[in-house]
Amino acid sequence: MIDLLNGIYPWIKALHVMAVIAWMAGMFYLPRLFVYHAERASIGSELDRTFQIMEMKLLKIIMNPAMIVVWITGLMMIGLGAFDWGAGWAWIKIISVLLMSGAHGWMAARRKEFAAGTNTRSGRTYRLFNEMPTVLMVFIVVAVVVRPF
């Protein structure tokens, strides 16, 4: 089985990169939807319902599957020896991916609050939060590409 996986490693890596792109697109866009939802839509309004549909579909159709593929392919690459566990860059990436997954979970919880009409956070909160995926992405890309440690 390992020989088969080693043979398709470039395909696993390509799928991983494509899933990361899809996941990150959602991680950048969902907080922006939350900003506009919090600032412009009244609970129960047609705009509120439109934002809820957009947020739900982005999360469930794009972000959740992409994150799952990222984790599966990432773990496959780890299993094939793609990580040097003695190097700092590997730990920076793993910690950053765990934080990114936590941010994903936080956004999923906020989507449920919007759906229930119980959001108490301002657009400013979501604007500030929107920076977290960008910062984590910088850490991940630098750790993997530059490998400074």
Cα-flanking dihedrals φ and ψ of residue 80, to 5°? -90, 5
Band of residue 2 on the pLDDT scale cut at 50, 70, 90: low
Task: Note the pLDDT of residue 149.
Answer: 85
Using the 8-state DSSP alphabet, how is residue 45 labeled? S
Task: Note the pLDDT of residue 83.
Answer: 84
Tell me, rounded to whole angstroms, the distance of Cα 13 from its chain centroid.
Answer: 17
Task: Note the pLDDT of residue 82.
Answer: 83
Average pLDDT on 51-77 reads 97
Task: Note the pLDDT of residue 4.
Answer: 73
Over 70: is that where the pLDDT of 1 sits?
A: no
Give me Rg for the CA atoms of the chain.
18
Q: CA 91, CA 97: separation in Å to the nearest integer?
A: 10
User: Would you mind telling me the total number of residues written for the chain in this entry?
Assistant: 149
Kindly report the pTM of this predicted structure. Answer: 0.92
68-124: per-residue pLDDT in tens? 999 999 999 998 888 888 999 999 999 999 999 999 999 999 999 999 999 999 999
